[in-house]
Structure 1
């Protein structure tokens, strides 16, 4: 690698840090962290009081960045959680032989349109594989996690526990390049509604009989259906997704049948103005996720 290319990587790291984004080194030419793992931790330096992972060691300190990138032409990783970022990863289909499979950008644009908004003009990069990363600022006090296919197929997100490769980095597949948008804007409300952790059911008794639990589930179903039916344009699909994810736990626990939930929310979604297909697609993905993540009944 030439001296100019090495300098460009340092510049990319410093540029990200100037934006307030916490960076850490990736192995040259790859997407893998260059920091040592827990099994090989020397227990010295930053790890003197215990092993610190890449998310904890990511920094905006220009002196630390210069010292790190002086050692090797590291690619640049951005720890999304500490940076206060939510990055939407718009992937391209792995199987390029089928032209019928929409890519992540097309799917996300359709979701924005259905929510009544244009695709936000925010900072974005083109990935080495030809996809896109859309950078958004996460709201303070909300700890978002990584997701895979929660929003839609080919639309993943990176937040706490995740990272992205910064523009200016290059892998064997290709470069990461900044496309447009000088600044990252706030996460759209409709998207935040989908990604925000489902609220805990605080009203539920800590020890409930089967009859009490089912009565509570019936009340929750009626309330959620009423909320969805009253949702306004721009928030209807997000309200339906949120309701299905909240009610999916009762399906997993055996308090409600899936058919009952799907029928009630399908009718509510259509009453709010969503199409039959939009309701079915949203309900299927939201219920599948919620049922898979709520196999064990929580107690207070």
Structure 2
């Protein structure tokens, strides 16, 4: 293997750090952090006094970055929370999406039009799938978290608890490239309001839905409930996780959702909110067991 890809990735990591954005190594060719999780924490080195999350281990130090990226061709992740960023992720359509569904870029344009606002000019990155990342400076004094579909379908956000892949990185599908190198804009107030407004509860499902529609509806509910858990502040996180899992559990009982999918979504959401991994697993398991045991038949729900 030549050192060219490794050198390019090292430069990408140093460039991000120079912007004041702490970085972490991602698996070569991937988007997953190349760091141990709490479950496999050795409790040595940086973690001698307890497990340190990826946000705590993200760094701006050039010497640490050079040491890490000299060891392997790691992709570069930006820890959005510590970086003071909120990144809007405009996703592309998947093969399973219903024909005619708008992609993230289209949904964002419509969102701006409905708000009577121009499309913000800011740093914009193209993802390998053809999606886009829009970078914004998070507002001071407000701790924003990841969201999934809160603004609109196919629009997610990354803030505290999240990370984005930096340009210069690549997956088997292609590279992350800069579309617009404009300065990072402040998050517009109207977008902040949309992200922090209380979310309206999802209406009860229509009993005559065909099976495919029921599964789509259940997936939407799961995304919204997981996003709510991920953004819950300290003090009510476990209670919110318990409530949300119980709310979604009926879909597992009705076979609209796979249990493993639900467990994985809420595990990630709970850990994003700051709950220990073991506490998340115990709460999720207990809540799902209760929901499946007590769920009423669909016809009477």
Provide the C-alpha distance between the structure 2 equivalents of 1:51 and 1:97, rounded to a whole number of angstroms: 39
- Deviation string 1:18-75 (CA, Å, 9 cap, x unpaired) is 1111100001111111112223322222112111121110011111111111110100
Partner of residue 166, structure 1:
166
CA contact (8 A) 1:121 1:181 kept: no
* TM-score under structure 2 length normalisation: 0.65
Provide the C-alpha distance between the structure 2 equivalents of 1:98 and 1:44, rounded to a whole number of angstroms: 49
Q: 1:124 and 1:21, CA in 2 relative to 1: closer, same or farther beyond 3 A?
A: same
Partner of residue 156, structure 1:
156
Provide the C-alpha distance between the structure 2 equivalents of 1:45 and 1:186, rounded to a whole number of angstroms: 37
- Deviation string 1:218-257 (CA, Å, 9 cap, x unpaired) is xxxxxxxxxxxxxxxxxxxxxxxx4xx37x5xx89xxxxx
Which is greater in Rg?
1
Partner of residue 220, structure 1:
none
2:59 counterpart of 1:59: yes
Cα offset for 1:97?
Answer: 8.0
Cα offset for 1:183?
Answer: 1.8
Provide the C-alpha distance between the structure 2 equivalents of 1:72 and 1:28, rounded to a whole number of angstroms: 8
Provide the C-alpha distance between the structure 2 equivalents of 1:128 and 1:32, rounded to a whole number of angstroms: 15
Q: 1:32 and 1:289, CA in 2 relative to 1: closer, same or farther beyond 3 A?
A: closer
Query: How many pairs does the alignment contain?
Result: 214
Provide the C-alpha distance between the structure 1 equivalents of 2:184 and 2:96, rounded to a whole number of angstroms: 30
Provide the C-alpha distance between the structure 2 equivalents of 1:89 and 1:97, rounded to a whole number of angstroms: 17
Identify unmatched segments of 5+ residues in structure 1.
Answer: 197-241, 253-257, 260-283
- Deviation string 1:81-103 (CA, Å, 9 cap, x unpaired) is 11111000000011288662211
Q: 1:67 and 1:153, CA in 2 relative to 1: closer, same or farther beyond 3 A?
A: same
- Deviation string 1:144-170 (CA, Å, 9 cap, x unpaired) is 011001100001101110111110001
2:117 counterpart of 1:111: no
2:106 counterpart of 1:87: no
Provide the C-alpha distance between the structure 1 equivalents of 2:97 and 2:39, rounded to a whole number of angstroms: 42
Partner of residue 7, structure 1:
7
- Deviation string 1:88-121 (CA, Å, 9 cap, x unpaired) is 0000011288662211011101111221221111
Alignment of 1:68-83 (within 5 A): 68-83=68-83
Provide the C-alpha distance between the structure 2 equivalents of 1:20 and 1:66, rounded to a whole number of angstroms: 16
Partner of residue 189, structure 2:
189
CA contact (8 A) 1:86 1:159 kept: yes
Partner of residue 23, structure 2:
23
Provide the C-alpha distance between the structure 2 equivalents of 1:7 and 1:86, rounded to a whole number of angstroms: 28
Structure 1 residue ranges (4+ consecutive) displaced by more than 4 angstroms after TM superposition: 96-99, 292-296
SS at match of 2:148: strand
